[in-house]
């Protein structure tokens, strides 16, 4: 099989399971975080004056990813960008807003959302391995997605892709989005990611304190966890009732 077809086939498969496979990396990160707590003397972060601020930095990195995703999703029409699971969906080609500076803003957001927990392990080599894994993993997904878009939109896609980079934004040439920002769509689509992010950070923190027999929990993580899960169930109920629905969004 030629590399082009092989990459596309791999990308289609990885796209379908893109929300599951990174969880295995998360388990590895959790194990390393536990090792750091069991062996504080071998860590450059553990029990240091700046440990609390470093962990907040990790959270901010994760939240940056969520902000990128929210900004992207909030400006897109229905059946384009989102949490499609089984197959690619694109009724229109997004070329304005954040799509005028980067072709795959959702995957850029995902990168930062996963980078935050990876940084929390405190192991530089694991962070580097994660970045390499993400590059190889999502490169296939982006390749398959672009093959789909190229086949559907033809010359319009080629013209857009020639001037807009795939992953690293180029801010020159930003074009305002054709659609206004929709908070309803963001709350409907991104509530899972918001809750999951605080769940991961809180679980790491609580597990770490229990390992060391302490109770000096990070209250920022725990408060964020409580608020995000209250918000999740409230938004879930609103979604079921159709309160977050918008025509065309």
Say if CB 83 and CB 73 are below 8 A apart.
Answer: no
User: What pLDDT sits at residue 49?
Assistant: 82
pTM for the model stands at: 0.89
User: What pLDDT sits at residue 226?
Assistant: 97
One-character DSSP codes across the chain: --HHHHHHHHHHHHHHTTTTHHHHHHHHHHHHHHHHHH-GGG-SSTT-TTHHHHHHHHHHHHHHHHHHHHHHHHT--TTSSS---SS---SS---SBGGGT-S-HHHHHHHHHHHHHHHHT--HHHHHHHHHHHHHHHHHHHHHHHHHHHHHHTHHHHHHHHHS-SSS---TT-B--SS---HHHHHHHHHHHHHHHHHHHHHHHHHHHHHTT-----HHHHHHHHHHHHHHHHHHHHHHTTTT--TT-
User: What pLDDT sits at residue 55?
Assistant: 93
User: Which of 107, 127, 106, 129 has the alpha carbon at shortest distance from 118?
Assistant: 127
Q: Is residue 209 part of a domain?
A: no
Q: Is residue 191 part of a domain?
A: no
User: What pLDDT sits at residue 85?
Assistant: 44
Task: Say how many domains are in the chain.
Answer: 1
Q: Is residue 67 part of a domain?
A: yes
Domain enclosing residue 41, as ranges: 3-180
User: What pLDDT sits at residue 136?
Assistant: 87
Q: Is residue 153 part of a domain?
A: yes
Q: What is the pLDDT of residues 114-158, one digit of tens each?
A: 999 999 998 999 999 999 999 988 888 888 888 888 888 888 889
Report the CATH number that the domain containing residue 64 is assigned in CATH: 1.20.120.1630
User: What pLDDT sits at residue 13?
Assistant: 73
Q: Is residue 246 part of a domain?
A: no
Q: Is residue 238 part of a domain?
A: no
Alpha-carbon torsion, ordered 33, 34, 37, 38, to 10 deg? -140
Q: Is residue 186 part of a domain?
A: no
The segments of the chain whose pLDDT lies below 50 read 82-83, 85-86
Measure the CA–CA gap between 214 and 217, rounded to whole angstroms. Answer: 8
Q: Is residue 136 part of a domain?
A: yes
């Amino acid at each position: 099989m030629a590399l082009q077809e092989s990459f596309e086939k791999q990308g289609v498969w990885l796209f379908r399971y893109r929300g599951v496979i990174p969880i295995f990396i998360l388990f590895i990160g959790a194990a390393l975080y536990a090792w750091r707590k069991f062996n504080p003397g071998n860590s450059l972060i553990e029990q240091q004056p700046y440990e609390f601020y470093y962990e907040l930095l990790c959270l901010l990195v994760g939240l940056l990813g969520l902000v990128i995703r929210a900004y992207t999703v909030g400006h897109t029409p229905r059946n384009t960008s989102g949490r499609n699971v089984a197959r690619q969906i694109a009724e229109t080609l997004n070329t304005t807003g954040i799509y005028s500076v980067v072709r795959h803003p959702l995957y850029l957001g995902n990168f930062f959302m996963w980078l935050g927990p990876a940084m929390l392990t405190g192991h530089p080599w694991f962070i580097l391995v994660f970045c390499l894994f993400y590059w190889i993993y999502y490169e296939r997904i982006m390749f398959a997605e672009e093959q789909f878009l190229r086949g559907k939109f033809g010359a319009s896609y080629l013209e857009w892709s020639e001037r807009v980079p795939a992953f690293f934004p180029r801010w020159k040439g930003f074009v305002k989005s054709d659609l206004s920002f929709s908070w309803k769509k963001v709350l409907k689509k991104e509530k899972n990611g918001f809750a999951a992010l605080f769940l991961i950070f809180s679980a790491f923190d609580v597990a770490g304190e229990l390992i060391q027999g302490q109770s000096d929990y990070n209250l920022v993580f725990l408060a964020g966890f409580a608020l995000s899960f209250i918000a999740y169930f409230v938004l879930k109920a609103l979604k079921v009732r159709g309160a977050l629905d918008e025509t065309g969004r």
